[in-house]
Chain A
Amino acid sequence: ETGVTQTPRHLVMGMTNKKSLKCEQHLGHNAMYWYKQSAKKPLELMFVYSLEERVENNSVPSRFSPECPNSSHLFLHLHTLQPEDSALYLCASSQDSTNEKLFFGSGTQLSVL
């Protein structure tokens, strides 16, 4: 059983849709992350939040908009995506943003048509 829960598990959306990915951690951690996992490419860090403040944004296009309302919840709002944005989006958490032990969720498999 994972301490990091992601919903939905699968998502299919058109390029003009707006959708949101949700992540919830039950570990009492203070840092949360979004990673993108594309086929045949290494995982890419997208965003880092520490105590609900964004501390890292790795040049991610503005069509991806993160939100961290509290230390347990993290959202990724999606709008006007491109087919190349199709990927597995993984959420992770850690005790704090300097702690190297990350705990991952099972991801949302996103398909953009």
Chain B
Amino acid sequence: AQTVTQSQPEMSVQEAETVTLSCTYDTSESNYYLFWYKQPPSRQMILVIRQEAYKQQNATENRFSVNFQKAAKSFSLKISDSQLGDTAMYFCAFRDFYGGSQGNLIFGKGTKLSVKP
């Protein structure tokens, strides 16, 4: 069974600095999707960034980028120029490429990020 592990329950960063959130996963599949979701105090889960495992190039969305290491089964999120609005819970998630359990994202337990002024 696939598992997702986020080893950092809480992190903090100063505004304008860079922070990296860690995520490792376990799967026997070769094709899959990886995601980072953000959940601010409003509680809505918002997709931050998405990576397709068969693509070697790391995904980037503005200030958010990932370091995808397929062999190591590692998928870290880097937030550059941190802003106060980045304060949220961040969840790493995995989904089988073929959607074996349709819609079944496997989530980690989350990392609580606080951006300090």
A binds B: yes
Chain A residues proximal to chain B, CB less than 8 Å? 2, 31, 33, 40-43, 45, 48, 50, 55-56, 58, 88, 90, 92, 94, 97-98, 100-107, 109
Chain B residues proximal to chain A, CB less than 8 Å? 4, 33, 35, 37, 42-47, 50, 91, 95, 99, 101-110
Which residue of B42, B43, B102, B109 is within 8 Å of A98 (Cβ)?
A: B102
CB neighbours (8 Å) of A109 from chain B are 43
A94 and B43 within 8 A (CB): no
A75 to chain B, nearest CB (A): 18
CB neighbours (8 Å) of B102 from chain A are 31, 48, 50, 55-56, 97-98
CB neighbours (8 Å) of A92 from chain B are 45, 103
How many pairs of A and B residues are in contact by the CB < 8 Å rule?
A: 65
Which residue of chain B has its CB nearest to the CB of A42?
B107
CB neighbours (8 Å) of A43 from chain B are 91, 105, 107
B21 to chain A, nearest CB (A): 15
B103 and A107 within 8 A (CB): no
CB neighbours (8 Å) of A45 from chain B are 101, 103-105
CB neighbours (8 Å) of A94 from chain B are 103
* Complex alpha-carbon distance, A98 and B46, angstroms: 19
* Complex alpha-carbon distance, A102 and B48, angstroms: 11
Which residue of A56, A97, A104 is within 8 Å of B44 (Cβ)?
A: A104
B103 and A102 within 8 A (CB): yes
B53 to chain A, nearest CB (A): 12
Which residue of chain A has its CB nearest to the CB of B42?
A106
CB neighbours (8 Å) of B35 from chain A are 100
CB neighbours (8 Å) of B91 from chain A are 42-43
B92 to chain A, nearest CB (A): 10
In the assembled complex, 19 residue pairs joining A and B whose CB atoms fall closer than 8 Å, in A order, are A31-B102, A42-B106, A43-B107, A45-B103, A45-B105, A55-B102, A88-B43, A90-B43, A92-B103, A100-B50, A100-B99, A101-B47, A102-B47, A102-B103, A103-B47, A104-B44, A105-B44, A106-B42, A109-B43
